[in-house]
Amino acid sequence: MNYLFHILVMIGIYVILTQSLNLVMGYTGLLSVCHAAFYGIGAYASTLLMTGWGVNFFVALPIAVIVSVLLSFVVSIPSLRLKGDYFVLATLGFQAIIFGIMYNWVSFTRGPYGIPGIPIPTLFGFAFDSPASYTLLSLGLAALVVTFIYLITSSQFGRVLKAIREDEIATQALGRNTVLFKTTAFALGAGIAAIAGSLYAGYVRYIDPTSFTVAESLFLVTILAIGGSGNIQGPVVGTIILVLLPEVLRFLRIPDTIAPNIRMMLYALALILVVIYRPRGIAGEYGFE
């Protein structure tokens, strides 16, 4: 049963991550490969607050969100004027810088040694220390995030984001400050990714930089490409498939020495098949070009 709860917790965390990336990629049309950096910023910010200052998880979480949003401006304000490939390169650079800071600023982040002993989240004396209670927390926050994203994307705000995705020049010609909308979407995506980061830190209770690499950012992009983007259901479908895939391989009793490689090959195969036969992903609305 604990195994099932673990999978549900991870699905909750990844739904939050992919929904937040969906806001940037699926709705606004910006291919970002630095989402794991914001995930990491959220994890490190809340962890440092909890371990260093004894701040409660539920206070550390919103502060981590604010830190992530503020740091998103570092990348968005100079780079959102860039287009296409240049924007992707700018986000790749940001991802490398953040990973470099996590890895090399040992006095602050403990670098490759990671930070152990992260406190269990507690709320009004209730500790989320059982797999079942953490599942509730993870899925509860995921449900809140999905609801929030549904509300904002089904309104005029979401329509303008989609219009920018389709044609930014035409959107400007309708009187919309597209840079402001893109900056807002990017900041919201970064802030929501930080929620997933905090949730992850509180769950595994030990973090190190290897969880927040560019490979993780590309994995999130892959989930959206396979599941689909530009609507609510695409990222959920993609997350469920790609979180469950390694577990399926586990039941096939493939030796541990080759299982990770086979998993990567399957991801690549799935990605190629989707790109060729279903560019919008399994349940998506928007085919990222």
Partner 1 sequence: MDLSKRCEDVPTLEVRNLTRFFGGVAAVKDVSIAFPPKRITALIGPNGAGKTTLFNLICGYIAPTRGEILLGHQSLRGLKPWQIARLGIGRLFQDVRVFGKLTALENVLVAFPNQVGERFWEPVVRRAQTLKMQRQNVERAMALLELVCLADRANTTAENLSYGQQKLLAIARLLAMDAKILLLDEPASGVHPAVLETVMNLMTSLAKQGRTVVFIEHNISVVLEVAHWVYVLDDGEVVAFGLPDEVIHDRVTREVYLGV
**What is the C-alpha to C-alpha distance for residues 244 and 48, in angstroms, rounded to an integer?**
31
CB of 179 to partner 1, least distance (A): 9
- Closest to partner 1 by CB, 35 vs 280, is 280
Per the CB < 8 A criterion, the answer to whether 249 and 261 are in contact is no
**What is the C-alpha to C-alpha distance for residues 231 and 165, in angstroms, rounded to an integer?**
13
CA distance readout (Å), 264 to 52, 122, 243, 259, 267: 37, 37, 13, 9, 5
Tokens, residue 124: 């009004």
- Closest to partner 1 by CB, 59 vs 151, is 151
CB of 172 to partner 1, least distance (A): 4
**What is the C-alpha to C-alpha distance for residues 22 and 150, in angstroms, rounded to an integer?**
11
- Closest to partner 1 by CB, 110 vs 165, is 165
- Closest to partner 1 by CB, 58 vs 150, is 150
Cβ count near 121 (within 10 Å): 24
- Closest to partner 1 by CB, 81 vs 250, is 81
CB of 156 to partner 1, least distance (A): 4
CB of 15 to partner 1, least distance (A): 19
For residue 232, what is the enclosing H or E element?
none
**What is the C-alpha to C-alpha distance for residues 151 and 146, in angstroms, rounded to an integer?**
9
Per the CB < 8 A criterion, the answer to whether 230 and 164 are in contact is no
Tokens, residue 10: 């991870």
Instruction: State the residues that interact with partner 1 by CB under 8 A.
Output: 148, 151-152, 154-157, 159-160, 162-163, 166-167, 169-178, 184, 188, 230, 285-286
CB of 26 to partner 1, least distance (A): 11
- Closest to partner 1 by CB, 152 vs 249, is 152
Residue 263 φ/ψ, nearest 5 degrees: -60, -45
For 54-177, list the strands marked E by DSSP. 122-123, 126-127
Instruction: Give the residues across from 115 on adjacent strands.
Output: 207
CB of 203 to partner 1, least distance (A): 27
Residue 30 φ/ψ, nearest 5 degrees: -100, 115
Tokens, residue 95: 């991802």
Half-sphere exposure of 35 (CA within 13 A, CB side): 33
CB of 151 to partner 1, least distance (A): 5
- Closest to partner 1 by CB, 32 vs 171, is 171
CB of 171 to partner 1, least distance (A): 7
- Closest to partner 1 by CB, 69 vs 118, is 69
Tokens, residue 142: 């995921």
